[in-house]
Amino acid sequence: MRKSIFAQTIILISFLVISISSNAETRKIKLTGLVVDAESYRPIENASFFDADDNLVGTSDQTGFFTLKLNVPEQGEMFFSLKVKKNGYENFTQNEHWGDLEGNTNATFYFGLKNKKLRKSESFSELSLNSDNFSIDKMKSDLKKIAEKRDFLNEIEKAKTGNDNPYIIVDGRHLLVSQSGYIELKSNNDLIIINNEKYISAAHLNENISRKKIISMSTIDDGKGTAVIFTRK
């Protein structure tokens, strides 16, 4: 009799554990996107995607397209990690920390993997949220824009090489540059305010300040100047 009651208790506990586990609520993150070579932007087929527990969660097709789903807890901020692997390329890990988004979430990632034999281009990733109405054509169009942006950033770095100028011109575009970013200007006549004290035109900026001295900079709209530079805290 005691054995029977004990067995029934074990069965009941097991049922409750299974029931609780099956009723545990999660949110789904649906990720779609493209995997390409970081230098040529050509699609990479059979790239593998792994979650934080090294479970295979998806692969890319011949166009570089992939789609996969991840589960996160129903409440709280959303954390997840995604590792991309492909023979001949360096592994790439994307660690994400999102806010407490309600319900299921859709997002598009663009991954550029670095070829182990080439050292010119670095791996990259770009994220686009709320991409529930995605299409291959739109993703290819977005990837083209990403490539153009990255190519432009590379041209900026080339223009910065061998000098310490905060004002440069790249592809006919007038730029105010720091060590880590840039602001696009209209022309060399744009006025830049230094430490909120004096205005200097972009054309004469290089004569008055070096790029390495810039601590921070931002755009302004005070009716006179275009940007402000701070060289001291």
| pLDDT score, position 10 | 42
Give CA–CA dist 184/187, Å, rounded: 9
Q: For the stretch 153-163, what's the b/e string if a residue is b when 16 or more beta carbons lie within 10 angstroms of its beta carbon?
A: eeebeebbeee
CATH of the domain at 37: 2.60.40.1120
Are 56 and 113 in the same domain?
yes
Last residue of a domain, one of 112, 144, 176: 144
Are 120 and 185 in the same domain?
no
Domain membership of residue 86 as a residue range: 24-144
Residue 11 lies in a domain: no
Secondary structure of residue 208 in the 3-state scheme: helix
pLDDT tens track, the chain, 233 positions: 444 544 444 443 444 333 333 345 788 889 999 999 999 999 999 999 999 999 999 999 999 999 999 988 877 888 899 999 999 999 999 999 888 877 788 899 999 999 998 877 889 999 987 656 678 888 989 999 999 999 999 999 999 999 999 999 999 999 999 998 999 999 999 999 999 999 999 999 999 999 999 999 999 888 888 999 999 87
Are 179 and 107 in the same domain?
no
Are 30 and 129 in the same domain?
yes
CA-derived radius of gyration, the chain: 26
> Helices in 161-217 by DSSP H: which ranges?
205-208
Last residue of a domain, one of 110, 144, 178: 144
For the chain, how many structural domains are there in total?
A: 2
Last residue of a domain, one of 129, 144, 159: 144
Beta bridge partners of 38: none
Length of the chain: 233
Residue 44 lies in a domain: yes
